[in-house]
Amino acid sequence: MQPKTKGIAVAVTGTTAGLVGLLVMTLPADADQEPELPELSATELVESALTAKAPAFEGTVEVTNDLGLPSLPALPGLGLANAESARIYHDGDDGARLSVQRGSTEFTAVTGPDGTWTYDSESNTATKYPGVDPTETVPRHGGLSDPARAATEIIDVLSDSSTVTIDGTARVADRDAYELVLTPKPSERTLLREVTVAIDAATKLPLRFEVMPNGSPEPVVSAGFTEFDVTAQPDELFAFTPPRDADVTTADPDKARKALPKHADPSQALDDVGEALGGSLSVTGSGWDTVLTGAVPEEAFAEAAERLNELGGPDGPPETTALDVLNQFGERFSEGGVSGTEFTTHAGTGVVTDDGRFAVGAVPRQVLIEALEQQ
């Protein structure tokens, strides 16, 4: 072969091979495949999911959201909007380990023979939770002595507001899964289209949870495994010895134990949150068009305004007031004797009225206003 032809042949082959290699890496493994699985009814699937016992596995979980929240650089605590990934290890028994990646730091929680520990590499603190039975931390579907009946009950409760179906199958984290779909009944006034839960065909563990909004094929919230391997895990993963130099604290066992069942009860948890906010919260409606209403803690916005003023510095824009903060990120509205500021995201709406009340829900604005008027 002529050197020139040979050279060109090598260049073309090599470049093509390299580019194809790079391209293959960008492709999702086999997202569009729909595996063939035996037919199951929704009740049967829920029943087997309730009785499922986690095998020993390791997996990577990713949480993404596309809520379309306004970016609020001045307000803290909104870093949640960023994608996070975590690794989970489970020994098939009571041992579990969770590592959450947060940039160049990590938060680890370990439950095993040494008890329950958490470790935060940012502050180098290890916390021990003594006396907490690790099995208590995971709600064990208490009182589900008869999973078949429990499954029927759950489906019954859900079917008041939703249609529960199995909508085909999917490949999640390279595994075959059933897609359990909750669709709101036509009477529900919600911004959401459906909620899907992908349940692993072999282990019956939920692999992915997605919330789909109206009018968009992309989920607003998606949490699920990107990797899931059922294999035996080494024992040392579930043991924990705090590192030298770490601040070791022990959580108050009573407090820890009390906190668990208390927050398992939604209405109690609601009261607690309300208490923390300095006002009471109440729930209007049920199912998909549930609306949460309450009084706005005045300090919250005063603080935010102060913070914005600080950021602006002496040469910054003129003094920001609490109302300006709201108007900066929301839209003014006035409807049916209620006026205030409206915030819209892809999955829900929130309003703050001029008389200091608020309402949020996965619903359009009118439903929020009706809820406020009922108060």
Partner 1 sequence: MTTMIAPSELRLTRARVGLPRLLWAELRWIFRRPRTRVMLGLLAVIPVIIGIVLTFADGGPTGDADPPVFVTLASSALALPIGALTVLMSLLLPLAITNSSGDALAGEQANGTLRGWLLAPVSRGRLLLVKAFGVAVVGLVAAGLVGTTGVLTGLVSNGTDGLITLSGTTLPLLDALGRVAIAVGWVTVQLWALGAVALAISACTEHPMLVLATVLGGVIVSQLLLVFDSLAWLHPFLLPSSWESMINLVRDPIWWDGLGEGLVRAACYMVIGLSLAYARIVTSDG
Site pattern 157..196 for partner 1 (x: CB under 8 A): ----------------------------------------
- Among 11, 81, 269, 302, the residue binding partner 1 under the rule CB under 8 A is 11
SS3 assignment, position 315 = coil
Q: How far is the CB of 17 from partner 1 (least distance, A)?
A: 5
Contacts of 119 (CB under 8 A, 6+ apart): 107, 108, 109, 110, 125, 126, 127, 240, 242, 243, 246
* Total residues at interface with partner 1 (CB under 8 A): 41
**How far is Cα 124 from Cα 243, in angstroms, rounded to an integer?**
9
Q: Which two tokens stand for residue 61?
A: 């979980």
At 124, which amino acid appears?
N
Between the alpha carbon of residue 130 and those of residues 138, 256, 257, 320, the distances in Å are: 16, 9, 10, 47
Pair 88, 96: CB distance under 8 Å: yes
Q: Which two tokens stand for residue 374?
A: 């009922």
Q: Is 70 in the site for partner 1 (CB under 8 A)?
A: no
Pair 239, 111: CB distance under 8 Å: no
Site pattern 88..117 for partner 1 (x: CB under 8 A): -----------x-x--xxx-x--------x
- Among 119, 129, 225, 228, the residue binding partner 1 under the rule CB under 8 A is 119
Q: Is 25 in the site for partner 1 (CB under 8 A)?
A: yes
Q: Is 121 in the site for partner 1 (CB under 8 A)?
A: yes
- Among 114, 122, 146, 319, the residue binding partner 1 under the rule CB under 8 A is 122
Torsion, CA 67, CA 69, CA 75, CA 77, rounded to 10: 0
Q: Which two tokens stand for residue 187?
A: 């009477």
Q: Is 8 in the site for partner 1 (CB under 8 A)?
A: yes
Q: Is 64 in the site for partner 1 (CB under 8 A)?
A: no
Pairing of strands 192-200, 206-213: antiparallel
Pair 109, 120: CB distance under 8 Å: no
Q: Is 62 in the site for partner 1 (CB under 8 A)?
A: no
Q: Is 237 in the site for partner 1 (CB under 8 A)?
A: yes
Contacts of 253 (CB under 8 A, 6+ apart): 129, 130, 131, 132
Name the segment binding partner 1 (CB under 8 A); options: 1-9, 155-163, 335-343, 366-374. Answer: 1-9
Name the segment binding partner 1 (CB under 8 A); options: 118-126, 192-200, 280-288, 352-360. Answer: 118-126
User: In the complex, which residues of this chain contact partner 1 (CB under 8 A)?
Assistant: 3-4, 6-8, 10-11, 13-15, 17-19, 21-22, 25-26, 60, 87, 99, 101, 104-106, 108, 117, 119, 121-124, 126, 227, 237, 240-246
